[in-house]
């Protein structure tokens, strides 16, 4: 389906209304997966014309997404990735884990952004960052779209590598998200060291339910934003 290319409209608005000179786009991948980290990319692009075909990573074929990620790594002014592990997700919850991963990505940039464009409607970053949330920002904002593609390709690569010793789970194909192959392997073999053990899918697996973790740390300052997928859907 045709789609409108992303623009610098939000970045220009932030520059005009807040005086921000350096604006980073931030997007995550892996929020709904059952296994693996949640990964966040922060990208600074300036106001240059982006590579042709840039959009939300989910709208691209694997081949095009991989090619575009390679272009973007050279094209962006700078980018950095941050991850929160399955253990951190279990301990903190997804909202706090996203904040942790995003903070790691932003802190790893060579320059500190004056403002952040965050994909979605929830500001899981908060102070001290100056944040503008944009629903479907990965389609409409250049910097967020760039972050989306780089994050997706990097996490997919990580999951394929983690899956080498767990071939039955198909991580190279499903990236830790629920799929028929993943669900079958999980029911038969139980969770790998890379699974999130506080999640609801374990409730439907009586033989592995004893492995479920109770979150040891909660943060009520921001509502949880994960909408976990159950085993049956």
- Respond yes or no on whether the N-terminal peptide bond of residue 80 is cis (omega within 30° of 0): no
Q: Whose CA is closest to 36, among 158, 148, 150?
A: 158
- Cα 7 from Cα 31, distance rounded (Å): 25
Q: CA 79: distance to chain centroid?
A: 14
CB atoms within 10 A of CB 13: 14
- Cα 145 from Cα 107, distance rounded (Å): 20
Contact 196, 90 (CB under 8 A): yes
Q: Tell whether 119 is in a known binding site.
A: yes
* DSSP assignment of 172-233: HHHTTS--HHHHHHHHHH---TTB-TTSGGGGG-TTTGGGPPPPS---TTS--------S--
State both tokens at 184: 């079958």
Contact 41, 154 (CB under 8 A): yes
Q: Specify which residues 26 forms β-bridges with.
A: 42, 118
Binding residues for a divalent metal cation: 27-28, 119
Binding residues: 27-28, 119
């Amino acid at each position: 389906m045709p789609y409108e290319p992303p623009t610098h409209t939000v970045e220009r608005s932030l520059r005009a209304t807040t005086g921000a000179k350096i604006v980073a786009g931030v997007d995550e991948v892996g929020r709904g997966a059952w296994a693996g980290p949640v990964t966040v990319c922060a990208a600074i692009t300036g106001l240059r014309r982006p590579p042709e075909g840039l959009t939300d990573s989910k709208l691209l074929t694997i081949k095009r997404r991989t090619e575009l990620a390679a272009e973007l790594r050279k094209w962006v002014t700078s980018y950095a990735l941050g991850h929160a592990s399955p253990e951190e997700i279990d301990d903190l919850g997804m909202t706090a884990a996203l904040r942790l991963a995003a903070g790691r990505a932003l802190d790893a940039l060579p320059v500190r952004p004056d403002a952040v464009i965050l994909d979605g409607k929830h500001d899981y970053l908060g102070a001290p960052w100056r944040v503008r949330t944009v629903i479907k920002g990965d389609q409409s904002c250049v910097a967020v779209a760039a972050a989306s593609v780089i994050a997706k390709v990097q996490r997919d690569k990580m999951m394929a590598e983690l899956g080498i010793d767990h071939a039955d789970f198909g991580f190279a194909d499903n990236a830790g998200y629920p799929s028929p192959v993943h669900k079958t392997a999980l029911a038969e073999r139980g969770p790998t060291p890379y699974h999130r053990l506080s999640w609801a899918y374990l409730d439907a697996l009586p033989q592995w339910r004893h492995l479920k973790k109770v979150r040891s740390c909660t943060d009520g300052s921001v509502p949880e934003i994960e909408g976990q997928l159950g085993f049956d859907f």
